[in-house]
Every structure is written in C-alpha cells, then in structure tokens.
Homo-oligomer: A and B are copies of this chain.
C-alpha cells in the first residue's frame, strides 16, 4: 500500500503532567518521565508532556482536583491517596491484604478492573491508565521491634493513605508526614515508626539510624499500582494516534517501573542489613490480627459505600482465583528456587 501524498499532520500538543511524587524518587517519579519521553519520541516531538514534581503545579494530594477541573491535563499518582474523597479510590492502587503486582495488573488489564475504576472515575472527569507498580513494599522502620499485635496499640505510625484505617482499628495512631520530615520526627520520638516504600527508596531517607528495626512485608501494599489520571475532555480532544500513544506508553512505563524496583531493591536491602539494621518479618500473629482488622473495615465499607462494594466484590473474586493459581504453580516454583542452599 501507498500512503496518500497529502495527509494531515498530527497537531502539536503540549500537556502538563502533575506528579504526586518528589523528583528524588527516580523510580516512582521517574515513571512519568519514561512515559512522557516515549510519547515525545513517538510523535516526533509534536505531542509533548512536561513532567512536574509534587508541589510544582499543585500539592501532591491536589492532583485529582487538578485533573477534574482541567487545570492540568494529566497526573501520575497513587490512587489510595484519595480515599478521603471516596474509599473506592484505594482499590485502584493498593488495599491491605490485596493483590500482588502481577495479580493487580491481570485484574486491571484482563479482568474487569480498568473498566470498573474508570466508571467510578467518570464523576471526577478522569480516565485512568496503568502507570507502574512498586511490588510488595516493606513494612517500615520501627524504633522498637514489633513482637505482637499489642505493640501496635498506641503506635504513632507514619503510614500513607488508606492503610491508616486498618492501623486505627488495631489501636495504632496513623500519622501523615511528608517524606522529608520523617527522619526528624523519628529522631525526636514524635513518631514511633514510619513506612515509606521499599529498600531502594527508603535507603535515601537514612531511617536506620533512628529506627533500626525494618519489618516486612508491608501488608497494606502487596503491590501498589500507580496510575496516570487523564482529564476526559483533554483526552477526547486528542487525535486517535495520540490516544494510542498514551495507551502504549503507559504500558511501557508500567513494566519499566516494576523492573526498576526489582533490579534495584536487592542491593539496597543488602546494604541496609549490612549497616546494622535488623531486617525482620512481622510475626504471623501480627499479620493475622492485621488481616482481621482489614476484613472488619471492608465489611463496614460494603454496607456503607456502594461504589466500594461494586468494585471490591469483583476484585475479591478475582483475587481468590489468583491465590488459587499462584499457590499451585508460581509458589511451588519460587519456593523451590528460594530453598536452594548456596545458589
């Protein structure tokens, strides 16, 4: 086939992207840069998206309002930040004892996930796209070792997003503190513990000096899916080529972020352990008590919030099937590999 001799050139378009993350996090902030760079390359520079760190255009937690109003065309964020607007936001990111990275991607891309969250987001003028995953996060940094569920009672714990609801139910006191202020708060004892992301990102904060117990896993984020939120009118105004570029670049950025976390976390964790930090699993009793608290929170939400219930019912069913499958095949393979002495 031969292309028509004269064909309309795709238009020059400039968008601004508001990230909820600071530039220092080359992993999660970097996901938006990977996305924007690829779109610029594919469009020959005609579709350009400038990436702005949290606070540059609007506060980290202002990006849903920003996209909803059309102040910015696109944001890159963690959906659970917005659970205060509606708890259903959290399901699109990560919920306590939720799905792991691959399972979440499967639900979004080949279950009903993307369809269900986009129906919900419509009231906020948002269309969402996959924007990366952190993998299972660590459980955070503690001034004292966590030995039983009783140690959560009264714990002043810096924890991001929706997980605070479960921490509260366990008697803990969730704290909302920006990343840059965590070190000082732990040093002074204003807080007792803080979670951030995983070894590679956490290492930059140097928290081991002031909170030397590093517990795992972060049961509230078994696989945080990050999202691109696009204003629906801005999206609909795009030519078909650019719509497809957003879709493809979001997939490209999605796989890139998880790969980066997986590649960079092992070395960071080794260095953290070598620095004298005690890297310890949460006791099973703590996981069990946390799971029980989470299920109580979900049972209440099922009664109170129909949008939560609609999405969570589908999520839960999908998760049940995923656990069945991963238990059989992936777990047997991974478990054997992890058991090999002196690999």
- Tell me the A residues contacting B by CB distance below 8 Å: 1-3, 7, 9-12, 14, 38, 41-44, 46, 48, 97, 100-103, 105-111, 130, 135-138, 198, 216-219, 222, 239-241, 243-245, 247-256, 258-260, 262-267, 269-270, 279, 281, 284, 287, 291, 318-338, 340, 343
Contact = CB atoms under 8 A, between A and B. Distances in A.
Contacts of A107: 263
A288 to B, nearest CB: 9
Contact of A331 (B138, B287, B338): B338
B248 A100 contact: no
Given A287-B336, A337-B97, A338-B331, A260 B325 contact: no
Given A42-B42, A281-B332, 16 more contacts: A38-B247, A101-B102, A102-B102, A102-B258, A102-B262, A105-B258, A106-B263, A108-B259, A198-B329, A218-B333, A219-B333, A265-B329, A269-B328, A284-B336, A323-B343, A334-B334
Contact of A330 (B130, B136, B260): B136
Copies of this chain, tallied across the complex: 2
A110 B336 CA distance: 25
A259 B109 contact: yes
Contact of A110 (B46, B110, B259, B322): B259
Closest 7 CB pairs of A and B: A251-B252, A3-B12, A41-B244, A110-B263, A106-B262, A266-B321, A217-B333
Contacts of A249: 248
Contacts of A136: 329-330, 333-334
Contact of A109 (B1, B255, B270, B336): B255
8 contacts: A102-B262, A105-B262, A108-B259, A110-B260, A217-B329, A217-B333, A327-B338, A331-B335
